[in-house]
Structures are given as structure tokens and as C-alpha cells.
Amino acid sequence: MTETRLPLLEVEHVTMRFGGLLAVNGLSFTAAQREITAVIGPNGAGKTTLFNCITGFYKPQVGRMALRHQTGPVLLERLSDHRIAAEARVARTFQNIRLFARMSVLENLIVAQHQELMRASAFSLAGLLGLGRYRNAEKRAVERARYWLDKVGLTALADEEAGALPYGSQRRLEIARAMCTDPVLLCLDEPAAGLNPRESLELNGLLTGIRDEHGIGLLLIEHDMSVVMGISDWVVVLDYGKKIAEGRPEAVRKDPAVIRAYLGEEENEDLPPEILGDVEEDS
């Protein structure tokens, strides 16, 4: 029986070259609504290049990337990066944390909402005059920021400098900042990088909570397979820029092509826990 997955992001035949290097090669897959889709693969598989295409840092030479909105599909390859964020409502975090280190934790979340605040201020005039329209927008921005501070457990640190937070807290703050933009698709580039096991477990709960409570799609690149196998609804596996497998986590971990890509040889058994995680232990 064929599964019914409601499309959110449809990537079709995307190809990205850098000179003679074929970084992404005719890639097609679908990330569904209200699902966590993981993109995995060995180093150099093309994962970050794919993210850079989706979020507008690169324009693929070939292919189509359609993000489904209520009003119809938005073709991401036709938009600049700032329009992908503002109009298509695609938010992203990075492998290397990019917070405003000297700003407070709360200020980082308010700044993330600058586009809404600028519109409400009529591009500064209403803000300078203190008009009600801007005051209401500012109040909503603070309320949303405090909501996400509570969700990521940072309310008590709202006035601290973001750069002074422990590493794991900075990771959570970056996710909260992305969620303050009210995205329909949240792209996470190695959100568990540098986290200890306890922090990874907390991250799992945060991401599944975002999926379940806010009904958005999440697309993540991740090397921590305890995270991937513990929370993903769908897994896409890349190797040398090509898709070699996709499906539910329990099926992907048994796929011979995936085993060969990770171990360099064909096995008849599942990938070991250190490669693709222990589903029973993490569920």
C-alpha cells in the first residue's frame, strides 16, 4: 500500500556544479508537511550545497524547488535569498552558530522579527512617532520572543549576552530565533553538532515538539545518527551528490546502498548503532 505524504517541499532534478565538480546531481525528493525530513550521507555528499540551493545562497543550474503554500507553490529557485526567508517563509540555522553575540538573548529574538517591525513602522516613520500600529507590533514581537525563550528553556537568561551562553544553550537560541520568523519550513544544518548526549536528547524533544505543536515541516542535515533515527519521519541519503536511498528510518538503515556508502562494503545486517543509531534505544 502506497503511503500518502502531503508535499511541502518538492525538489526535482536539482543539479549544482562548481567548475568540474558536480556537487548535486539530478536530485529529486519530497519533504512532507508536518514531518521531519533528514538529509544524510558521508562527508562531501552534497548536503550543505543542497541547503544552500534551497535557501537561496546558490542558484542551481538545473531543477525546480517548489514550496507549497496555501495560495499555491512558490518556486524557490526564482527568488533571492532574502525573499525566500521573507516571502516563502523558509528559516535556516547554520552549522557554525551565527548569533549576535553582544546582544542579549531577548534582543536576538526581537531582531529576528525586524521585517514585521519595519512594515509596522512604515519603515521607521511610525516607530519614530510612536504610533499605535508600531507599538502593537513591538508588543507582539516581545511576546513571541518570550514564548520561544520559554520553549527552549532560556527565560531566566533573557537579559544575558547571547555570546556568554553555554554552547548547547546557544544552539537552542538559534533555533528559537529561526522560529520567531514564523516559518513554514525550518532548515537545520547539523543542529546537534557539538552537543553532549543529554543536550542531544533535549534537542530531540524540542524538534519533535516544533513539528507536533506548530505543524511545520523540518528539513535537517545531521551526522548524529541517534538524532536522525530518533526523530526523523523520512530520510534521504546522498552520496557524491546523488540520492542513493530514501524512506522511513527503519528501511533506510537496512538499505545495502546506504551500508556500502557508510562502510565501503556490502553487509547483510543493519548498520551498527554508531553509524545509524539504535532506533529502539532512542525512541
Q: What is the CATH number of domain 1-89+183-249?
A: 3.40.50.300
In angstroms, rounded to a whole number, what is the distance separating the alpha carbons of residues 19 and 160?
Answer: 45
3-class DSSP assignment, residue 85: helix
Contact 117, 181 (CB under 8 A): no
Q: Which residue type is seen at 17?
A: R
Contact 63, 11 (CB under 8 A): yes
Q: What is the pLDDT of residue 127?
A: 46
Contact 211, 117 (CB under 8 A): no
In angstroms, rounded to a whole number, what is the distance separating the alpha carbons of residues 283 and 280?
Answer: 5
Which among 231, 234, 227 has a CA at the least distance from the CA of 252?
234
Name the percent of the chain in helix, strand, coil, to the closest 5.
40, 25, 35
Contacts for 109 with CB less than 8 Å, ≥ 6 apart = 144, 145, 148, 149, 173, 176, 177, 180
User: Could you tell me the residue ranges of all domains in the chain?
Assistant: 1-89+183-249, 97-166
Which among 177, 3, 36 has a CA at the least distance from the CA of 98?
177
Q: What is the pLDDT of residue 262?
A: 79
Q: Residue 48 phi/psi, 5° resolution?
A: -70, -35
Q: Which residue type is seen at 163?
A: G
3-class DSSP assignment, residue 104: strand
For CA atoms 107, 108, 109, 115, the dihedral sign is positive
Count the alpha carbons within 13 Å of 171 in the hemisphere toward its beta carbon: 20
Compute how many other C-beta atoms are within 10 angstroms of the C-beta atom of residue 123.
9
The pTM (predicted TM-score) of the whole model is: 0.86
Task: Output the tens digit of pLDDT for each of the chain's 283 residues.
Answer: 456 889 999 999 999 999 999 999 999 999 999 999 999 999 899 999 999 999 999 999 999 999 998 888 999 999 999 999 989 999 999 888 889 999 999 999 999 887 775 665 554 554 444 556 667 888 899 999 999 999 999 999 999 999 999 999 999 999 999 999 999 999 999 999 999 999 999 999 999 999 999 999 999 999 888 899 999 999 999 999 999 999 999 999 899 999 888 776 554 455 555 555 544 333 3
Contact 252, 235 (CB under 8 A): yes
Q: What is the pLDDT of residue 261?
A: 86
Contact 73, 12 (CB under 8 A): no
Q: Residue 232 phi/psi, 5° resolution?
A: -75, 140
3-class DSSP assignment, residue 193: coil
**Grid cell at residue 23:** 556537487
